[in-house]
Structure 1
Amino acid sequence: MLRTTVSNPDAAEADLLGQEDYVQLVTPEGERHANPTFDPWVADVTDEQLAGLYEDMVVVRRIDVEATALQRQGQLALWPPLLGQEAAQIGSARALRDDDFIMPSYRENGVAYCRGVALDDLVRVWRGYAHGSWDPQEHRMAIPAVIIGAQTLHAVGYAVGIMKDGADSAAITYFGDGATSQGDTNEAMIFAATYHAPVVFFCQNNHWAISEPVELQSKQHISERAPGFGIPSMRVDGNDVLAVMAATRVALDRAHTGGGPTYIEAVTYRMGPHTTSDDPTRYRSAEELAEWKAKDPIARLEKYLESRGAMTEELRARVNAKADSVAAEFRAGCIDMPKPEPMSLFDNVQVETNPVLERQRAQYAAYLAAFEGGE
């Protein structure tokens, strides 16, 4: 079922993969490609469910744009945009079971939205009001990991725990192409293969690790690395929400049924900056950006729905109204967020307190008391 795609596929393989060197079910023009390998994995997806995926992507993009504006207005210290990567996140997140556990990087706000994370919790950390934004156990999703690649090791450890518990759930970890150059990510794959762990490695290849292009990190497709560790891989069009869902379902099925780890490279593009402190015009061309805008994941699904007669004015109006409502709630939740008490800085740092932490707490309390005394 799984295969590693090659840089220059022959005619038969190109036909299977959708005329590209990756799995593609819906073209940028909204045309559906038949694929005997992956079609069965999304055969149950109805027009209504496609409309739901479309709504998810539109709403998540609106959240992202609103968060970027909030940062520019001084309401957030930083924000990592996901503009252009909506299909990769929504397609994979909607394939997960409720008992699957997610280990994200810091850009998976679309995945968090699908997991039901409260809107204000999406920005709590970026506003500087908390160490972590939400309860990982409640949402079966860890808080954002800023250290590049660290979450891949966490995912494998969690997956091994699943095995020892005798459960049939899985772990999935998200990371960018830049993380594939980190030792942690490669070590995670070694452990995953060794222990046959039920984990999915989901690489969002958005072509830029901050200001460095993916060509500097890998001379071959990133998906071709995983088989060297003994992990089967797939390369999928990350701007095709249906293809992403199919690939993720394949990988999760392997994990749920004892097949071990799988690696997915979702080929997408970061249309915005790496974070709001970045200026992408300094290192990439306008022509490249225009090329990828033509492959926009939302516009692609909209065209496909139109071809099926499912993109009605009522649907457009409903989705736009939902996006407006979510954006207003999101903005209000950010601006009206209660400020934390200064001493809460020491809460939830460690499970058990210790003398060093208590000394720091006492010193900080004395520092604050000095202001209260007018000194």
Structure 2
Amino acid sequence: MPLKIRMIERLAEVSREAWDSVANPQGAPFEPFLSWDFLDALETSGCAVEETGWGPKHLLAEDEGSGELLGVLPLYLKGHSYGEFVFDHGWANAYENAGGQYYPKLVTAVPFTPVTGRRVLARDPAVRGALVDAARHVAAEWGLSGWHVLFPFEAEWGELRDAGLLGRTDIQFIWENRGYQSHEDFLADLASRKRKALKKERGTAQHGLEIERLSGDALTKHHWDVFFACYQETGARKWGSPYLNRAFFSLIHERMADRVLLVMAKREGEHIAAALNFIGSQALYGRYWGALEHRDSLHFELCYHQAVDYAIEHGLKRVEAGAQGPHKMARGYRPQAVHSAHHLTQESFAQAVDRFLARERAAVQAEIGALGAETPFKKD
């Protein structure tokens, strides 16, 4: 069918219903980070906007006759590489040392959110292909260094590579539900020594504390205020300046409280730590954590163990607890390959990066194999 592809500079220019009909279509697993509510909250709160280096340039594919929305491509004009979790600073330095201008660049990603998911959002492969071509055209027309697609599912990564994009691989540590009906089933899957260590760690973390899991109507402004204080403390210590503001979390509370799991620790009636998760139909996504006082192993309890408990109780297939972190393996999270795809407009630069990526992919696969031998699970 004849397609029209146009660009919008604010998600508010398209209706929630139209966007969600293609971003989270009926019958597909729900991904909270693709929803209009989540992405618009980033823009409305001022977190993902041009002033912060995340200029929205979303592409819409519409039926030229009826105007029906058939596909969307979340797209940002990036003035830096922060908040992406696919590290290309070395590429930027090489490009600029050779006399080029690496920034701005185009990025298809969920801002500040290194979770896997769909990225070129359309059911029809022809519509997806048209959106890919349009993004490459924009990069060329605007004289940009390239377009980068971060953390697509592996099947979509294959489609993008077939379309000519370069493929990159990295490692994340993801918990998988191997048919566990209870937490005891999960523990039984671990080697005896590892199982005892995990139980001891959880006992230490929980001692003298009350652990709460809050979602939906159970969440109040007080809970969000405490969480934000925890988030700011950790963000300031790790990154210098947290990416997200209080307004963003207020919008998430208004719009998506039923898709949020806030795990909080209380000591003598006062909250001292919190971990924020988002709930998909197949996965629990751990995002942010913070504590107002230090407690041994509390980070592991709130972020990893409680997430696993929730996933088992609710029949979720996996827990994605963020980028990096080999320490997650001892808590039952396995090393897995995650992907990104890259279109670089300068041919000689693209060829050099392609050679580098071939070596990097081999090294990553070797590392996954080595790490896999160190997981706490019983050996087959």
TM-score (norm 1): 0.29
Task: Name the one with the larger helix percent.
Answer: 1
Q: Which has the higher strand share?
A: 2
**TM-score scaled to structure 2, two decimals?**
0.28
Higher relative contact order (CA 8 A, sep 6+): 1
